[in-house]
Structure 1
Amino acid sequence: MARSSKLYHQFNHIRTFVNARVKWVRDPDLDTAVLKEKNLKHVISLKNHIVSSPSKSLSIYNASMLKSSLDLPMTTIKFVEKYRHVFSQFQPSPGLPPRVKLTTQALSLHKEEMEVHNSPTNREETARRLARLLMLAGMARLPIYVIEKLKWDMGLPYDYVTTLLAYYPDYFDVCVVKDPSSGEEVLALELVSWRKDLAVSELEKRVMSLNYGADKTRHDIAFPMFLPTSFALEKRVKTWVEGWQTLPYISPYENAFHLDSNSDQAEKWTVAILHELLSLLVSKKTERENLIYYGECLGLGSRFKKALVHHPGIFYICNKIRTQTVVLREAYRNEFLVKKHPVMGMRYWYIHLMTKT
């Protein structure tokens, strides 16, 4: 029996993770990467409501009514005043209540942003990433409320149902499924047919680009690990991780629920799913809650929670901005994305306006 087969058999039937607490160590660079986007989602959400109105403006009263739905961190008026290079208040005529619109600079950025979203290249790339999101763990459908939670980090246009899905009837359809959490029937997005060409993970692509053979591409893949210099794993944890990395790599697009859920092999498959999911996001990060929601749809919610804690060299959990954000470490160098998606490029321009004095 080959070494990999022996390892597969051994780690699929026993749980070897040591009974040691993997400590959390702050990473200032990744904290900065999260912090610099503070309120960005709120700014763009309010911007989208403004440009969606027929007059391209909202009354202060109507804008204030959005505070709860947009989860604004302060009153809408204070929010508008805080970001005066994005939003502008004006009075249409004497006696009428003031309204809010976008500044000339923000409106120009919005038009550029829409050009990015609507370009055939980006639209096709986004549709393929969305299809892969549905295909993870061998599934083919996902409740729409889960997609809504991931919409921002996926870089989907705010009106993606009409501006994206409508262009790809051969990719997507809407169906009704039973929600795994509540048991109620909910709307879901379904993949019309399985796309084998898309079922290749980012890690597999990376190995293939190095011209390894097919068997090596399939099995001998270790996850890139990046630990801050101040971080030191306990020796027994380090030994476990090194052994765990040698286990066969199972594609996150395969259904591997036949594995013993408490085995190390099952955990490597779980980490592969999390790694691929974060790789599909334009920001390479998302709130921990979003990952758990997604994991629960797969029946992997508790496994996701454990994997995120066990592998600090792969995933970083940032505790800034009143939430926990999971960051894919390898996607960043210092506080910057290694590969910047065009949607992220536009978002950084919004940040520039937000921080302008």
Structure 2
Amino acid sequence: MASSLKLFHQFNHIRTFVNAKVKWVRDPNLDTAVLKEKDLKQIISLKNQIISSPSKSLTIYNASMLKPSLNLPTTTMKFVDKYRHVFAQFQPSPGVPLHVKLTTQALSLHKEEMAVHDCPANREDAAQRLARLLMLAGMTRLPIYVIERLKWDMGLPHDYITTLLADYPDYFDVCVVEDPLSGEEVLALELVSWRKELSVSELEKREMSLNYAADKRKHDIPFPMFLPKDFALEKRVKTWVEGWQTLPYISPYEDAFHLDSNSDQAEKWTVAILHELLSLLVSKKTERENLLCYGECLGLGSRFRKALVHHPGIFYISNKIRTQTVVLREAYRKEFLVQKHPVMGMRYWYIHLMTKA
């Protein structure tokens, strides 16, 4: 016990991570997991815009005006032409501009997708994961623009503010806060009251299920590591990681800002937050900038940057699709999710429609 306490104080008060560059090695499987969702977010965003129209269609001109907000990779006309099994062009009557609507197959998928979002169990799951997002690092408020950045990977309905939040007044409230980044007043989502039953991380749940010991969550819990084939850490880095893994696990739902920000113990807490955040996402991945934006709101932006680089066995950064995407390694076997959320199940059907010959 004495030696364990000594180790805790050592890693809390000094920075022992060696000044070595941890190399980036490409992981073809995880790159494939990212690549197969190319244009998927844009497809569903345009689909939602079409469905929101009273006529369930948009003129090509109006659809083209949406290109910047939907972040389409090409002109709207070319995008619609490319995915002809999702979108169909038609002319309502002679002399009237061309319109775009959903194909029969895409409309059928949309109805199934709405049924998934409307399922009571899935609605409760979404509300709880959103509540846990607000609880990370002991906080209870988050600017709505940050949630907007994460809502796709959270698997929230596109109109979650009006369709989900209103049904959970005991969970959420909307308030005004000072933006930690700009200093301006912005709308934020606030947790009405702390929910202790939700403050158990995915890593703690897994550890308790394996060890059948409720007190295990407060002990030394290592992070699962999956290094790609032919990837070898430098010996001194490997030695550091092994020692770092033995440090006490501090829940990502605890406020541990009292720790020396440059200590190894503080880094383990930071990694715990990143690990839990990615675990809350239905895709178990998100753009690196989304994580950093979230981290800045916590005051952990620089720590997030370092942690993502220091731990390639936990996080993989893919450079595909014109951005950097952070993937939680343990959530995938090759390019497939180990546990597939119903929302992801629906998205894979859209991918099937997108790639249909």
Q: Which residue identity does 1:8 align to in structure 2?
A: F
2:265 pairs with 1:265: yes
Q: Say which SS state the counterpart of residue 29 (structure 1) adopts.
A: helix
Q: How do residues 245-324 of structure 1 correspond to structure 2 at under 5 angstroms?
A: 245-324=245-324
d(CA) in 2 for partners of 1:208 and 1:214?
6
- Measure how far apart 1:86 and its partner are: 0.1
- The equivalent residue for 1:125 is 125
Q: Which residue identity does 2:263 align to in structure 1?
A: S
Q: Which residue identity does 2:99 align to in structure 1?
A: R
Q: Which residue identity does 1:125 align to in structure 2?
A: D
Structure 1 residues without counterparts, runs of 5 or longer: none
The count of corresponding residues between Structure 1 and Structure 2 is: 357
Q: Say which SS state the counterpart of residue 146 (structure 1) adopts.
A: helix
- The equivalent residue for 2:347 is 347
- Measure how far apart 1:214 and its partner are: 3.4
Q: Say which SS state the counterpart of residue 210 (structure 1) adopts.
A: helix
Q: How do residues 124-273 of structure 1 correspond to structure 2 at under 5 angstroms?
A: 124-273=124-273
Q: Which residue identity does 1:30 align to in structure 2?
A: L
* C-alpha RMSD over aligned residues: 0.7
- Measure how far apart 1:67 and its partner are: 0.4
- The equivalent residue for 2:46 is 46
Q: Which residue identity does 1:347 align to in structure 2?
A: R
d(CA) in 2 for partners of 1:115 and 1:50?
18
d(CA) in 2 for partners of 1:70 and 1:216?
45
Report if aligned partners of 1:116, 1:342 keep a CA contact under 8 Å in 2. Answer: yes
d(CA) in 2 for partners of 1:204 and 1:179?
32
- The equivalent residue for 2:91 is 91
Could you give the per-residue CA deviations for residues 158-214 of structure 1, whole angstroms, max 9, x where no partner exists?
Answer: 000111001000000000111111100100000000000000000000011113433
d(CA) in 2 for partners of 1:65 and 1:214?
55
Q: Say which SS state the counterpart of residue 170 (structure 2) adopts.
A: coil
Structure 2 residues without counterparts, runs of 5 or longer: none
d(CA) in 2 for partners of 1:104 and 1:3?
67
Q: Say which SS state the counterpart of residue 259 (structure 1) adopts.
A: coil
- Measure how far apart 1:2 and its partner are: 3.0
Q: Which residue identity does 2:314 align to in structure 1?
A: I
d(CA) in 2 for partners of 1:174 and 1:213?
38
- The equivalent residue for 1:56 is 56
Shift in CA distance, 110/120, structure 1 to aligned 2, threshold 3 Å: same
- The equivalent residue for 1:102 is 102
- The equivalent residue for 1:356 is 356
Could you give the per-residue CA deviations for residues 140-173 of structure 1, whole angstroms, max 9, x where no partner exists?
Answer: 0100000000010000000001110010000000
Q: Say which SS state the counterpart of residue 153 (structure 1) adopts.
A: helix
Report if aligned partners of 1:41, 1:152 keep a CA contact under 8 Å in 2. Answer: yes
Q: How do residues 322-337 of structure 1 correspond to structure 2 at under 5 angstroms?
A: 322-337=322-337
- Measure how far apart 1:216 and its partner are: 2.7
- The equivalent residue for 1:34 is 34
- State TM-score, norm by structure 2: 0.99
Q: Which residue identity does 1:121 align to in structure 2?
A: A
- Measure how far apart 1:215 and its partner are: 3.5
d(CA) in 2 for partners of 1:215 and 1:57?
56
d(CA) in 1 for partners of 2:217 and 2:155?
29
- The equivalent residue for 2:3 is 3
d(CA) in 2 for partners of 1:248 and 1:81?
55
d(CA) in 2 for partners of 1:167 and 1:290?
27
d(CA) in 2 for partners of 1:347 and 1:130?
20
